[in-house]
Structure 1
Amino acid sequence: MNSQEKQPIWTQGFISIFLSNFFIFVAFYGLLTSLPIYVVDELGRSSVDAGLIITIFMLSAIIVRPFSGKLIQDFGKKKTLMISMILFTIFSFMYLLVENYALLLVLRFVHGIWFSIASTATGAIAADIVPLKRRGEGLGYFAMSMNLAVVCGPFISLTLLQYVSFSILFLVLASLITFGVLFTAFSKMKEVKKTTAQAEKKRLQFSDLIDQKALPIAFVGSLVAFTYSSVLSFISMYAKDLNLIEAASYFFLVFAVAMIIARPFSGRLYDSKGPNVVIYPALALFMIGLLFLSIAHSAFMLLFAGAFIGLGYGTVVPCLQTLAIQATDHHRSSHATATFFTLFDTGIATGSFVLGIVVAQLGYETLYLLAGLFLILVIFMYKLVQSRKKATSPALEWQESSL
Structure 2
Amino acid sequence: MIENQPRLWTKNFISVSVSNFFLFMTFYFLLVTMPVYVLNELKGKESEAGLATTVFLLSAIIIRPIAGRWIEKFGARSILLSALVLFSLVTLLYLYADSILVLMVIRFIHGIGFGMATTATGSIVAAIIPDSRRGEGMGYFVLSSNLAMVVGPFLGLTIMQQLGVSTMLFIGVISATIGLVAGLFITLPKRDMATVKNNRIKGSFRFKELFEISAIPIAVTGAFFAIVYSSILSFVSVYAVEIGAGNVASYFFVVYAVVLLISRPFTGKWFDLYGANSIAYPAIILFAIGMVILGIADSPTLFLVAAAFAGLGWGTLFPSFQTIAITVAHPKRRPVATATFLSIYDIGIGLGSFLVGLAAANLSIGTLYLFSSVYILIGLVIYHLLQGRYLKKDKNHKEQYLDI
2:362 alignment partner, SS class: helix
Kindly tell me: are residues 243 and 52 of structure 1, through their superposed partners in 2, closer, same or farther at Cα, counting changes over 3 Å? farther
Q: Which moved more, 1:127-136 or 1:102-111?
A: 102-111
Closer, same or farther: CA 5–234 of 1 in aligned 2, 3 Å: farther
Query: Could you say what secondary structure the match of 1:10 adopts?
Result: coil
Partner of 2:224: 223
SS at match of 2:189: coil
Question: Residues of 1 paired with 2:355 and 2:125: CA distance?
Answer: 33
* Structure 1 gaps, min length 5: none
| TM-aligned CA distance change 1:89 to 1:27, over 3 Å | same
**1:211 maps to amino acid:** E
Q: How many residues align?
A: 399
CA contact (8 A) 1:215 1:339 kept: yes
List alignment gaps of at least 5 residues for structure 2.
Answer: none
**Contact map agreement 2:223 2:349 (CA 8 A) in 1:** yes
Contact 2:135 2:272 in 1 (8 A): yes
Question: Which SS does the other structure have where 1:287 is aligned?
Answer: helix
Letter in 2 for 1:8: R
CA distance in 1 between partners of 2:161 and 2:274 (Å): 48
Check whether the contact 1:69–1:208 (CA below 8 A) recurs between aligned residues: no
| TM-score, scaled to structure 1 | 0.94
Q: Is the alpha carbon distance of 1:42 and 1:246 closer, same or farther for their aligned partners in structure 2, counting shifts above 3 Å?
A: farther
Residue 192 (structure 1) shift? 6.3
Other-structure match for 1:296 = 297
Alignment check: 8 A CA contact 2:73 2:199 kept: no
CA distance in 2, matches of 1:356, 1:368: 13
Structure 1 residue 126 corresponds to structure 2 residue 94? no
Letter in 2 for 1:19: V
Distance 2:105 2:247 in 1: 34
Q: Distance in 1 between matches of 2:302 and 2:163?
A: 33
> Which amino acid in structure 2 is aligned with residue 341 of structure 1?
L
Q: Contact 1:144–1:260 (CA<8 Å) still a contact in 2?
A: yes
Instruction: Name the residue aligned to 2:163.
Output: 164
- Once the two structures are overlaid, the 10-residue window that deviates more, 80-89 or 41-50, is 41-50
How far does residue 175 in structure 1 lie from its aligned partner after superposition?
0.8
Q: Which runs of 4+ in 1 moved over 6 A?
A: 393-397
Taking only aligned residues, the RMSD between alpha carbons, in angstroms, comes to: 2.1
Q: CA–CA distance in 2 between the matches of 1:212 and 1:106? A: 32
Contact 1:225 1:344 (8 Å CA) reproduced:
yes
* Cα drift, residue 191 of structure 1: 5.5
Q: Is the 8 A contact 1:326 1:399 kept in 2?
A: no
TM-superposition CA deviations, 1:116-142 (whole Å, max 9, x none) = 000110011001111011101001110
Aligned equivalent of 1:187: 186
Q: How far 1:285 sits from its partner (Å)?
A: 0.8
Cα deviations across residues 322-352 of structure 1 (Å, max 9, x unaligned)?
0010001112111110010011100000000
TM superposition shift of 1:318 = 0.2
**Greater shift in the superposed pair: 205-214 or 74-83:** 205-214
**Cα distance between partner residues in 2 of 1:206 and 1:79:** 23
Over 3 Å counting, the alpha-carbon distance change for 1:108 and 1:320 in structure 2 is: same
Q: Distance in 1 between matches of 2:191 and 2:96?
A: 40
Matched, 1:109 2:108: yes
The answer as to 2:311 corresponding to 1:310 is: yes
* 8 A Cα contact 1:19 1:180, kept in partner: yes
Report the TM-score, using the length of structure 2 for normalisation: 0.94
Aligned to 2:83: 84
CA distance in 2, matches of 1:387, 1:177: 38
2:322 equivalent in structure 1: 321
**Separation in 2 of the partners of 1:396 and 1:329?**
22
Single out whichever of 83-92 and 39-48 deviates more from structure 2.
39-48
- Where 2:298 maps in the other structure, the secondary structure is coil
Instruction: Call closer, same or farther: CA 1:100–1:196 in 2, change over 3 Å.
Output: closer
Matching residue's letter, 2:125: A
